[in-house]
Structure 1
Amino acid sequence: MAFKKILIGYDGSDASKKALKKAIDLAKMCGAELHIVGVVRPFEFAAIDYIPPEEIEEYEKEEISKEERFLKEAKDIAEENGVKAITKVMEGEPAEELMAYADGNNCDLIVVGHRGVGGFKRMILGTTAGNLVKYANQSVLVVK
């Protein structure tokens, strides 16, 4: 099966770097477009009484800026390997945003690392990867 559009969920973690390498290899073999998407989770403040809106806004700007740097790094790596890449930063729950992007851009493969930067080692398969495997309309490749 030749893939035409490959989506990689990238967060700068070691697992996502391995997934990026695999996605680049697949894109080269298939002549596929490579879409590199980073997802910033919204600020969660349920346990805190009050946080000034300016602090929330500053936090979100910093997270988006950090994700943009990760995506620039990933795009540079792809292009050094002869693969043109499209990047996008999204906000929300990672699995949901990646699925929405894949559906909206007709991607036929989603590639992710088995575990991202978030959380602790509660499962062998990370929450985002697990949800993509269960619910995505596309084939999902989880790279270890």
Structure 2
Amino acid sequence: MSFKKILVGYDGSQSSKKALEKAIVLAKVCGSELHIVGVVRPFEFAAIDYISPEEIEEYEKEEVSKEERFLKEAKEIAQEKGINAVTKVREGEPAEELMSYADENGCDLIVVGHRGVGGFKRMILGTTAGNLVKYANQSVLVVK
């Protein structure tokens, strides 16, 4: 089976770096276009009495900036291996954003690590990878 467009979810974690390496190998073998997408989660209000809109905006800018640095690093890794990649930062729930991106851009494979950054919410194959496996329209490769 050959894939035309491969999407890899990247958050700078060791697991996502392994997923990126696997996606690069697949892109080379299949002659695929590689898309590297990072997702910034929206600010969560739980257990917080009051945070000003300015503080929330600053937090979100910092998170987007951090994700842009991760994607720059990922793109450089791909280029070193001879693959030109498209990068994009999205905001929202990671699995939903990766699935939407894949649908919108005609990706036929989604590659993710088995766990990312973020503690218990994404610790075990649960949230992001698990939801992708359950609900994505594309094939999903979970890299350990």
Q: Give the TM bin, normalised by the shorter chain.
A: over 0.9
Quote the sequence identity (%): 86
Structure 1's consecutive aligned runs of 4 or more residues displaced over 6 angstroms after TM superposition are none
User: What is the distance in 2 between the residues matched to 1:122 and 1:112?
Assistant: 12
Q: Report the CA distance between 1:49 and its aligned residue.
A: 1.6
Against the structure 1 CA distance between its residues 126 and 12, is the aligned structure 2 distance closer, same or farther, given a 3 Å change threshold?
farther
| 1:37 corresponds to 2:37 | yes
User: What is the distance in 2 between the residues matched to 1:60 and 1:121?
Assistant: 19
| 1:136 corresponds to 2:136 | yes
Partner residue, 1:28: 28
User: What is the distance in 2 between the residues matched to 1:70 and 1:123?
Assistant: 19
More deviation in 119-128 or 34-43? 119-128
If the length of structure 1 is used for normalisation, what is the TM-score? 0.97
User: What is the distance in 1 between the residues matched to 2:76 and 2:124?
Assistant: 30
Specify the code of the residue in structure 1 equivalent to 2:59: Y
| 1:111 corresponds to 2:80 | no
Against the structure 1 CA distance between its residues 23 and 122, is the aligned structure 2 distance closer, same or farther, given a 3 Å change threshold?
closer
Against the structure 1 CA distance between its residues 72 and 123, is the aligned structure 2 distance closer, same or farther, given a 3 Å change threshold?
closer
Does the Cα contact within 8 Å between 2:115 and 2:123 map onto a contact in 1?
no
Q: Report the CA distance between 1:50 and its aligned residue.
A: 1.1
Q: Deviations over 1:8-39 (max 9, x none)?
A: 00000000000000000000000000000000
SS in 2 for 1:140: strand
Q: Report the CA distance between 1:123 and its aligned residue.
A: 6.3
Against the structure 1 CA distance between its residues 126 and 13, is the aligned structure 2 distance closer, same or farther, given a 3 Å change threshold?
farther
Partner residue, 1:92: 92
Q: Deviations over 1:36-65 (max 9, x none)?
A: 000000000132121011100000000000
Specify the code of the residue in structure 2 equivalent to 1:42: P
**Structure 1 vs Structure 2 CA RMSD:** 1.3
SS in 2 for 1:120: helix
